[in-house]
Amino acid sequence: MQVTLKRVPSIDAFRALTMLLMIFVNDFWSLSGIPYWLQHAKADEDLLGFSDVIFPCFLFILGMAIPFAIQNRIANGDSQGLILKHIILRSIALIIMGVFTVNVPEINPEATGMRSEWFQILMVAGFFLIWNVYPKREGTQKYLFLGLQILGMVLLCYLAYIFRSGEANALVGMRPQWWGILGLIGWTYLTCAILYLFAYKSSVGLLIAGGVFTFFTIAGHAGWLKALWPSGPQDWILGNGAFHAFAMTGLLGTLLMEWLYKKNRKLQVPSIFTSIGVAMVLIGLLLRNFFIISKIQATPTWVFLCSGIAFMLFAGIYFWVDLRGKAKWFAPIKVAGTATLTCYLIPYVYYSVANLLPFHLPEALSYGVVGLLKSLIYAFVVIGIAAVLGRMNIKLKL
């Protein structure tokens, strides 16, 4: 199905809310004495923590945005090859950022010759130099901006070259590991965006693709794939298809919304999305008889529960933003929905600078309810910094 909707404000609002919460929960490492249910569950623990729902919601909204982004490019006259090039370059950028960020926590400062704080600051500087949204290039500015991008590339290459992790007698360089959050987003976007680009005229084909990814999450954990290929890899698809399943679920949600608009039934979007969400949660609870709820293991139970929650959350946001015109409620965090990558990377610099300073926050501000309030304020501060950077024409957009 070809999406003709031009803009759905609730998608930006949902993305902004998700990023706010992601920054919030990512600060929990600095707290103590907070409720366990707010945190990530352990790998072998049958539990869905509040923090375990955030990343799936982000992938869901990533999938919802894919049809709009690609159809806008088609409407602007971009060829299929040009759009494919954009998808690949955008994915590569996210994967590169993911590899850097996933390695930083394991840095050996002595072997690298640099403290992790300075490494992170230079790393983020490199990201911005390469992928900043520079003003329209004209005259000498064209060469200036190109020079800044080349400088960023050289900087990242240097950091990758000097990076070492591990003990002194077993040093290793930079490795993909589990790709990091940004890397997982990059791989997921690459697959789902290409699928949509070549199959957007076939809603049935896209539905089948989403079903295949969901099937892989079940087949992998049920042992069916291992039985077919005993010596094969642990995951046939990254995360056994769980991450792709989230994004494809969001993508299919957009196609359903488009169909409802065409039938003049947009008022039914909240009720239908809520019904789908409830159904997916029930399926997730049923699957709990066979698989535990685990984000780290990417179990099918986790996939269905979080997909259902995402559907219901979007239904509520859509009701207030698109049907009741309450977009202004999300105005304070609007930047998090439009400069999402900038917001995600700011904490790497923030924490690094904080560690380099000779003073730290009192312990009382990092405990219990007060600590949670501190983390929430911190999340708003990060979004505020992103807004200020945006006014200075410093903003990442791939």
pLDDT of residue 139: 74
DSSP state of 319: I
What are the extents of the domains in the chain? 9-391
Residue 5 pLDDT: 66
CA dist 23 and 20 (Å) reads 5
Q: CA-to-CA distance for 270 and 249, rounded, in angstroms?
A: 16
pLDDT at residue 140 in the model:
79
CB 247 within 8 A of CB 66: yes
Q: What are phi and psi of 180, to 5 degrees?
A: 75, 165
Residues in a beta bridge with 367: 32
CA–CA dist 212, 204 (Å, integer): 12
Contact 95, 194 (CB under 8 A): no
How many of the other CB atoms lie within 10 Å of CB of 88? 13
The DSSP code sequence of 47-58 is ---THHHHHHHH
pLDDT of 3: 57
Task: Return the sign of the alpha-carbon dihedral for residues 251, 69, 345, 127.
Answer: positive
CA distance 299 to 58: 17
pLDDT tens figures, 258-282: 999 999 999 999 999 999 999 999 9
For residue 229, give the 3-state DSSP assignment. Answer: coil
The pLDDT value recorded for residue 240 is 87
Nearest to 242 by CA among 16, 55, 37: 55
Query: pLDDT tens, position by position, for the chain (398 residues)?
Result: 555 667 789 999 999 999 999 999 999 999 999 999 999 999 999 999 999 999 999 999 999 999 999 999 999 999 999 999 999 999 999 999 999 999 999 999 999 999 999 999 999 999 999 999 988 777 777 888 999 999 999 999 999 999 999 998 889 999 999 999 999 999 999 999 999 999 999 999 999 999 999 999 999 999 998 888 887 777 778 888 999 999 999 999 999 999 999 999 999 999 999 999 999 999 999 999 999 999 999 999 999 999 999 999 999 999 999 999 999 999 999 999 999 999 999 999 999 999 999 988 899 999 999 999 999 999 999 999 999 999 999 999 76
Q: What is the pTM of this model?
A: 0.94
